[in-house]
């Protein structure tokens, strides 16, 4: 006689943040996005040189300089290199104008000298995925490799896809980077001075982080994209935020929050890096307020959609 056994189900996988890193002029740590002031900070003149950056475009160099401190912050980088599971570590990059200067330079060369004037060393720099590829090769990250060039919501969209890779089991760890390099062509396109920097977050499965004794800084509790702000917030979970990080503080459809802040104000047009600057600021806030909930939103009525992400502190009670 056989005995029936109840079906067992595994608990849902959860994505958590274990590290952040910045390569933004004048800044060192993520709490400076919330107003903390320190002397010094990242200097592109001295920070974007070195043998490891030779023959790389500016966006890739910025991304590498943000990824390394994020991995180190997460306890995944030591003197011998990356210490995590390389085969299951993804790289997700958000950039909207990252290769614009490269493409325009190649176009000018072709117009002047035909294709015979092109250098094969620079050709990879005309691919939007060169940034994610550079980070993956530098640290031996052989998991999924994705670049998003998705307009104003791109940074939070990248966080969405990194979380999706983890909760579906496609990756155990993800390095998520938002990067935008400045330049004359970028400024002309955007019509305003642009950010010249990068920000990186390290996401892991909660079980993986616990297994190696990592400090959980935040949980990515919900991500969504919708046609408007109210719809995106509702689809992301509809939580009540203690802090709302946004450019759209005057939107009447915005949620009630104890505080509203634009952490990228004064940094220049952040474009594809905006959402991840918001997420890094959220992690810094949750380091101090572990029971809080933070909402980050990008996009508005003039864009093709709005993205929303809820992050909760390590001591948050649902």
pLDDT tens series, the chain, 318 aa = 445 555 556 678 999 999 999 999 999 999 999 999 899 899 999 998 888 888 788 899 999 999 999 999 999 999 889 999 999 999 999 998 766 676 666 576 667 766 666 676 666 666 678 899 999 999 999 999 999 999 899 999 999 999 999 999 999 999 999 999 887 776 777 777 778 999 999 999 999 999 999 999 999 999 999 999 999 999 999 999 999 999 877 777 788 888 999 999 989 888 899 999 999 999 999 999 999 999 999 998 888 899 999 999 999 987
Pick the closest to residue 176 from 137, 152, 216, 147 (CA basis).
147
| Contact of 131 with 273, CB cutoff 8 Å | no
Distance from C-alpha of 147 to C-alpha of 305, rounded to nearest angstrom: 19
H-state helical runs in the chain: 44-47, 58-73, 100-113, 130-139, 154-167, 184-190, 206-211, 229-235, 274-288
Query: pTM of the predicted model, to two decimals?
Result: 0.90
Distance from C-alpha of 111 to C-alpha of 151, rounded to nearest angstrom: 29
| Contact of 92 with 176, CB cutoff 8 Å | yes
| Contact of 24 with 267, CB cutoff 8 Å | yes
| Contact of 201 with 176, CB cutoff 8 Å | yes
CA distances from 65 to 33, 43, 128, 179, 268 (A): 17, 11, 18, 11, 19
Chain centre distance of CA 269: 16
Collapsed DSSP state (helix, strand, coil) of residue 50: coil
Burial of 284 (0-12, 13-18, 19+ CB in 10 A): buried
Distance from C-alpha of 38 to C-alpha of 34, rounded to nearest angstrom: 12
pLDDT for 97:
76
In degrees and rounded to multiples of 5, residue 272 shows phi and psi of -70, -10
Distance from C-alpha of 204 to C-alpha of 158, rounded to nearest angstrom: 14
């Amino acid at each position: 006689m056989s005995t029936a056994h109840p079906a067992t189900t595994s608990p849902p996988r959860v994505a958590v943040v274990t590290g952040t890193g910045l390569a933004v002029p004048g800044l060192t740590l993520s709490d400076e996005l919330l107003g903390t002031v320190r002397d010094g900070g990242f200097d592109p003149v001295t920070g974007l040189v070195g043998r490891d950056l030779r023959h790389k475009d500016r966006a890739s160099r910025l991304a590498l300089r943000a990824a390394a401190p994020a991995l180190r912050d997460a306890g995944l980088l030591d003197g011998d290199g990356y210490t995590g599971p390389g085969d299951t570590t993804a790289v997700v990059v958000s950039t909207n104008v990252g290769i614009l200067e490269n493409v325009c330079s190649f176009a000018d060369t072709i117009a002047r000298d035909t294709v015979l004037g092109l250098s094969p060393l620079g050709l990879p720099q005309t691919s939007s995925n060169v940034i994610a590829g550079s980070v993956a090769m530098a640290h031996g990250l052989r998991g999924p490799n994705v670049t998003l060039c998705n307009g104003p919501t791109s940074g939070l969209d990248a966080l969405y896809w990194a979380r999706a890779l983890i909760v579906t089991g496609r990756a155990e760890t993800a390095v998520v980077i938002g990067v935008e390099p400045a330049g004359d062509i970028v400024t002309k396109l955007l019509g305003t001075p642009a950010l010249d920097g990068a920000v990186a977050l390290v996401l892991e499965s909660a079980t993986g982080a616990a297994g190696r004794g990592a400090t959980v800084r935040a949980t990515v509790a919900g991500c969504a994209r919708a046609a408007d702000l109210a719809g995106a917030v509702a689809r992301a979970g509809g939580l009540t935020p203690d802090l709302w990080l946004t450019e759209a503080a005057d939107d009447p459809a915005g949620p009630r929050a104890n505080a509203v802040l634009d952490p990228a104000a004064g940094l220049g047009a952040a474009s594809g890096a905006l959402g991840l600057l918001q997420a890094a600021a959220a992690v810094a806030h949750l380091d101090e307020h572990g029971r809080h909930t933070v909402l980050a939103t990008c996009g508005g009525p003039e864009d093709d959609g709005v993205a929303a992400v809820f992050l909760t502190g390590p001591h948050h009670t649902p």
